[in-house]
Amino acid sequence: MTQTTSDAPVKPSRDWIKVLAQYSKPKLSRSILEIVATFSGFATFWLAAYFSLSVSYWLALLLCIPGAIFLVRIFLIQHDCGHGSFFANPKINDWVGRVMGIFTMTPYQVWRRAHAIHHATSGNLDRRGSGDIETLTTDEYKALSKKGKLWYRFYRHPFTLFVIGPAFVFLLRHRYPLNGLLKESKYWLSAMGTNLGIIALAAIMIYFLGLESFLLIQLPMTVMAASIGVWMFYVQHQFEDTYWAEGDEWNHADAALYGSSYYALPPLFAWLTGNIGIHHVHHLYGRIPFYRLPQVLRDNPDLANIHRITFWESLSCVKLQLWDNNQRKLVSFASAAKA
């Protein structure tokens, strides 16, 4: 399913960091252009869906799909701002990120903290639980009670992972800082400030467009965007020969390069998803603006052959639920049972 060439990479994981650092400088004009293009696309499809309501709600729902993809792109601008990579000025990154968080219903400071932990602990079996999709080892799963196994199977079911879970996280869970973050005022202010921004933006749109029209478009568009975003995140880490290790065996650079996939999408879809599919490069050096990631692969073709997954190959990742320490790969429930 995943592909890694026998002669790549020619450098150890840590040595690639020096190479990637050369691509970290953002271009102000390009960053502004990306924001304008993203919001133009989002507004175009939102309004197209709105005017389609008088023709057919099914047509409006169809137009919500590209609108949702542009909403994912707004999230990816927020994502880059959280890494300090979209603008050279940290304050501009933070304020743009906060504004984007209103549209994505994601409190910027709260998300940035959880995401930083994800980058710092990705692939570490000893530090699971923050910003990750919960993944148990085969031994851990076997040790669960019948109730525990049933709950884990429910959690890892595709409908839970890609429909129920994303809607719950973005519509409800993000409204309140969890995991002890409430004790720090900046996270409380981030969550409550985002909530107030959402209320203000919704009030303006409802005033001009009407409550029913707003809900019929914004709600499905948000749920679609959440599902698309979680799918992207899932495929970028939950593939067969990903990287998990524990104790002294875990290495941050190796986890970044080999625990993240290169989701090779067609050019248009790569652009629409902010090139986040080039995830192994992003994880190894998170300060690269997403619009410079394709240049990294063009200049360093060895990186394009590490854990490359096409769209059709990615569909089979859904059946992988457990990490097998003996085989060093993700396996299905069925495979674990046979073993």
pLDDT at 220: 97
- Which of these ranges, 3-12, 78-87, 102-111, 324-333, has the smallest mean pLDDT? 3-12
User: What are the residue boundaries of the structural domains of the chain, listed by start?
Assistant: 25-251+314-338
More confident residue, 108 or 130: 108
Cα 306 from chain centre: 19
Return the half-sphere exposure (C-beta side, CA atoms, 13 A cut-off) of residue 187: 15
| Spatial distance between the Cα atoms of 153 and 164, rounded to a whole number of angstroms | 14
Given a cut of 80, whether residue 3 has pLDDT beyond it is no
CA 124 to chain CA centroid, nearest Å: 18
pLDDT digit string (tens) for 225-269? 999 999 999 999 999 999 999 999 999 999 999 999 999 999 999
Strand-strand pairing, 322-324 and 329-331: antiparallel
Residue bearing tokens 């490359």 = 308
- Taking the C-alpha atoms of residue 204 and residue 218, their distance in angstroms, rounded to an integer, is 13
pLDDT band at 1 (very low <50, low <70, confident <90, very high): very low
Would you place residue 128 in the very low, low, confident or very high pLDDT band (cuts 50, 70, 90)? Answer: confident
CA distance 82 to 115: 8
Residue 81 burial (C-beta neighbours within 10 Å; 0-12, 13-18, 19+): buried
Average pLDDT over residues 329-335: 93
Buried b (16+ CB within 10 A) or exposed e, 218-243: bebbbbbbbbbbbbbbbbbbbbbbbb
Q: H or E stretch including 324?
A: strand 322-324
* 177: DSSP letter: -
Q: Which of 30-44, 112-126, 197-211 has the lowest mean pLDDT?
A: 112-126
* pLDDT given at position 132: 81
Per-residue confidence at 10, pLDDT binned at 50, 70, 90?
low
Under DSSP, the state recorded for 164 is I
pLDDT of 130 reads 75
7 band by pLDDT with thresholds 50, 70 and 90: very low
* pLDDT value at residue 180: 60
Taking CA atoms, 333 is separated from 150, 316, 330, in Å, by: 12, 14, 10
Quote the CA–CA distance of 166 and 106 in Å, as a whole number. Answer: 12
Q: Which tops the pLDDT comparison, 1 or 289? A: 289
CA distance linking residue 293 with residue 278, whole number of Å: 7
Average pLDDT over the chain, rounded to an integer: 93
Calpha distance 285→300 (Å, rounded)? 14
Residue 182 confidence class, pLDDT cut points 50, 70, 90: low
Q: Which of 8, 7, 1 is nearest to 257 (CA)?
A: 8
pLDDT of residue 11: 78
Strongest mean pLDDT among 73-87, 123-137, 168-182: 73-87
Q: How far apart are CA 125 and CA 243, in angstroms?
A: 10
Each residue's pLDDT tens digit, 132-181: 899 999 999 999 999 999 999 999 999 999 999 999 999 999 988 776 66
Q: Which helix (H) or strand (E) holds 150?
A: helix 146-155
The tokens of 11 are what? 């450098």
Residue 5: pLDDT band with limits 50, 70, 90: very low
